[in-house]
Amino acid sequence: MTIIGKFVSLVSRRTVRAEGHVFAITPERIGIAEGMHAALAMAPMLCAAAMLGRSDIAFGAVAAFWNCLCDPQGSRSQRLKAMAIFTAMGVVVMPLASYAAHWGFAVSIVSLFVLVFLCGLTRSYKPSLGPMPAQAGLIASLAVVIGIASPEPLAAALAHGGYFLLGSAWTMLFCIVLWPIPFPQSAGFTLATIFGRLADMAGFLESLDSRPGMDVQRWIEFDTVHRRGVRMAIERGRALAAHDVRTGPDLGPGVDAAGRVFSALIAIGHVRRNAAIAIDNVDGSQPLLPALRQLLQNVVAHAQRERPIPDQLIALAHALLQQTAGRTGPVASAVALAARAIAHLADRRYALAMDSATPSPAAPSALKIERLVWVHALRVAVASVLAFMIGTSLSVTFAYWGAIAAIVVTQPLSANTWLRVLERACGSLIGGMIAAVLLTSLSSPVAVTFAILLLAAVTVALRLVNYGLFVVFLTPMFMLMSDFIHPAQGLIVARLTNEFVGACVGVAASFLLWPTKESSALNAAISAAISANMAFASAALRMSGGSTGALDQLQREAGLASSRLEVTRERMLLEGQRRSARLDQLQNLTVATRMVCGAAAVIEVLRNGKPDAHDQERANRYDQMTARLIDALTSTESMQLTPSSEAPADDLEQAVQHLTTAFDRYVRARTER
């Protein structure tokens, strides 16, 4: 496990730039045990189909595989609910689609449209922090397509549904009741990823030159790439700790400590950027940052061994605390905060109390389908019908593959569709080569069965790591499975042809069928980033030094909002707007929001005692300024928001003035385009 942990940590630290994108790589989410579960859950139905010569029994193995994709790996009740919902949907739509297809092509098309649309209404599109388990509505849509491609009379269609139910029920019984394997490596891998990125962030910070005009681009990289990568990893770990009760007791305290270390590094970065106080080493604090980096690397090493808080690690943290004793400089104070957070991991009660602000699930509200949901459900239904009709008219083998590709690649935002198409294209090409080798070398049903099970295990293990890697192994698995159920010739050409048809239809549907206005999404992202960062700045002025829980929550929201703004900008770049001056100014605006957050973090780290009346007045002024900025963002008229030329009182005031200047330049670029 140590070797795997080292590999996971290495890959995570090398893929930090991919954070926040559809093509993000999250190797800490590799699920070795989940892959074993999938293979063993599929084995009975697949082996029965091979031994009895009844290929239709393999529909139960397909259901088992799909259930594993829908398994959220949380508590037993959460897992049972998610898998049961998918089972209920699949048992209804798959035989219904199969029986409807029995009545002819026209009925097939109508049924495909209606059932895919209804399945799409059950999906949601909330912002995520990385790959998530497949939703039941998405997989149920694929079950509809499989049913349409297997027209049968009522009795045979019900038999398909029975095999589907049997495979799903067995999977839930096996994975949840009979063999509920604990997954302790999730906590170790996640902590290794988080603290590894913190160590890299500290090392990158050491190398930066704080003199005026030096390392400008590298400071931007620090403010965007490194801060975004660490923030996303922390929030992904926080979500996993809240979601999975098995890893929460180990992962929760570690993530809380990482959040405090992250705040300290942000504060140190802001201090070092100020040349007036960063180069001098009069207080002897210069060696403290390398010592902190070494401590973080030790945390990574222990997390890889699934021992995140051993005694020797606590001793190293206390030794670093002793080095900061007697020093009053901002760097020393920030390093002491980080070392104290790691040292206090030994006391679980203190660690858990550091940050208890874990978002709780919202209370269920009245049934209401958002416009984004039903519009995208309609878009996907149209795309699936068009892809299926095109493939059928061209007499392509397994034309339903094109419909499946269209369903999967069509995204609510067109740029995301481009990325998904690229990932599926690369994954299908490599997977097709693997399938070609297997199809020509495997002759007996037993060999094919073992190959399918092995590929299924790898596919499920990689489902939360990266979609492209997932498709690499999914492609040969389903090609072998399709050949097992409905033997045919020319599978490689059929796969590539169907993928091409599905990709073209999916891209066309995303751009032509009720496309989401990117300007609205961009304005919402800018508004959220400005509001969240300014709210954190105001709170840092208003709250006393002991209000760590509330300030941490606001700082997390500020960091996530800035990350989403960065991703929105990069998504627009993918849509061919690279030469837009507005997007250049938008990058400056994003960096400006990060600077406000960093300056506020310095106040949070260094503050002792309660705020005074001047701090309260500044906080109120910042609130008013935020309202003006948001109003200017939605106004059709240009507004002059350039701050006064008076010298700023401190770093936070300077950062706020820089934010208003960057915002004013963005508004001007937007109106002049």
Give whole-number Cα distances, 570 to 236, 566, 587, in Å: 21, 6, 9
> Do the beta carbons of residue 400 and residue 493 sit within 8 Å?
no
Given this model, what pLDDT does residue 277 score? 47
Q: Is the pLDDT of residue 138 over 80?
A: yes
Q: Is the pLDDT of residue 360 over 50?
A: no
Number of H helices, E strands in the chain: 27, 0
Calculate the average pLDDT of the chain: 81
- Of the two residues 74 and 379, the one the predictor is more confident about is 379
> Do the beta carbons of residue 390 and residue 402 sit within 8 Å?
yes
pLDDT band at 353 (very low <50, low <70, confident <90, very high): very low
| Most confident residue range from 341-350, 470-479, 634-643 | 470-479
pLDDT band at 365 (very low <50, low <70, confident <90, very high): very low
Given this model, what pLDDT does residue 288 score? 86
At residue 544, φ and ψ (nearest 5 deg) are -80, 170
User: Range with the lowest mean pLDDT among 164-168, 253-257, 656-660?
Assistant: 253-257
* Mean pLDDT across 323-334: 82
* Mean pLDDT across 226-248: 76
H/E run at residue 412: none
How many other C-beta atoms are found inside a 10 Å radius of the C-beta of residue 472? Answer: 24
| pLDDT tens, position by position, 103-130 | 999 999 999 999 999 999 988 765 455 5
| Most confident residue range from 19-28, 397-406, 451-460, 625-634 | 451-460
- Of the two residues 573 and 577, the one the predictor is more confident about is 573
Which residue matches tokens 């299908």? 428
> Do the beta carbons of residue 590 and residue 569 sit within 8 Å?
yes
d(CA 331, CA 453): 54
* Max Cα distance, the chain (Å): 86
* Mean pLDDT across 537-548: 76
Dihedral angle computed from the Cα positions of residues 640, 645, 649 and 651, in that order, rounded to the nearest 10 degrees: 70
584: helix, coil or strand? helix
Give the chain's radius of gyration (CA, Å): 27
608: helix, coil or strand? coil
* Mean pLDDT across 324-342: 84
Given this model, what pLDDT does residue 518 score? 57
> Do the beta carbons of residue 222 and residue 208 sit within 8 Å?
yes
pLDDT band at 642 (very low <50, low <70, confident <90, very high): very low
> Do the beta carbons of residue 491 and residue 437 sit within 8 Å?
no
d(CA 620, CA 604): 18
Given this model, what pLDDT does residue 364 score? 44
Tokens of 297: 């690397």
Q: Is the pLDDT of residue 406 over 70?
A: yes
* Mean pLDDT across 609-624: 84
Q: Residue 495: which of 583, 401, 570 has the closest Cα?
A: 401
Given this model, what pLDDT does residue 307 score? 55
Tokens of 303: 């997390």
Q: Is the pLDDT of residue 278 over 50?
A: no
* Mean pLDDT across 624-645: 70
Tokens of 75: 């508590």
> Do the beta carbons of residue 450 and residue 43 sit within 8 Å?
no
CA 487 distance to own-chain centroid: 38
| pLDDT tens, position by position, 418-444 | 777 888 888 888 988 898 899 888 888
Q: Is the pLDDT of residue 247 over 80?
A: no
| pLDDT tens, position by position, 280-321 | 444 556 788 889 999 998 888 877 766 546 677 778 888 888
| Most confident residue range from 6-10, 256-260, 454-458 | 454-458
Give the 3-state secondary structure of 174-223. HHHHHCCCCCCHHHHHHHHHHHHHHHHHHHHHHHCCCCCCCCHHHHHHHH
pLDDT band at 382 (very low <50, low <70, confident <90, very high): very high
Given this model, what pLDDT does residue 324 score? 85
Q: Residue 338: which of 359, 358, 356, 354 has the closest Cα?
A: 354
Given this model, what pLDDT does residue 415 score? 66
pLDDT band at 213 (very low <50, low <70, confident <90, very high): low
Q: Is the pLDDT of residue 530 over 90?
A: yes
Any residues with CB less than 8 A from the CB of 130 and at least 6 apart, and which?
A: 24, 26, 29, 232, 236, 464
| pLDDT tens, position by position, 27-76 | 888 888 889 989 999 999 999 988 888 888 888 999 999 999 998 877 78
Which residue matches tokens 């949601």? 124
| pLDDT tens, position by position, 486-505 | 787 778 888 888 989 998 99
pLDDT band at 101 (very low <50, low <70, confident <90, very high): very high
Q: Residue 116: which of 497, 368, 454, 380 has the closest Cα?
A: 380
Tokens of 496: 């590539």
Q: Is the pLDDT of residue 560 over 90?
A: no
Given this model, what pLDDT does residue 515 score? 77
* Mean pLDDT across 179-196: 76
Sign of the Cα torsion 192, 229, 254, 80 reads negative
* Mean pLDDT across 524-547: 84
Alpha helices in 53-152 (DSSP H): 58-70, 76-101, 105-120, 136-148
Give the 3-state secondary structure of 482-499. HHHHCCCCCHHHHHHHHH
Q: Is the pLDDT of residue 645 over 60?
A: no
Q: Is the pLDDT of residue 17 over 80?
A: no
User: Range with the lowest mean pLDDT among 279-293, 584-598, 652-666?
Assistant: 279-293
Domain residue ranges of the chain, discontinuous segments joined by +:
32-182+371-512, 188-354, 518-672
pLDDT band at 257 (very low <50, low <70, confident <90, very high): confident
* Long-range pairs for 641-647: beta carbons < 8 A, 24 or more residues apart: 641/667
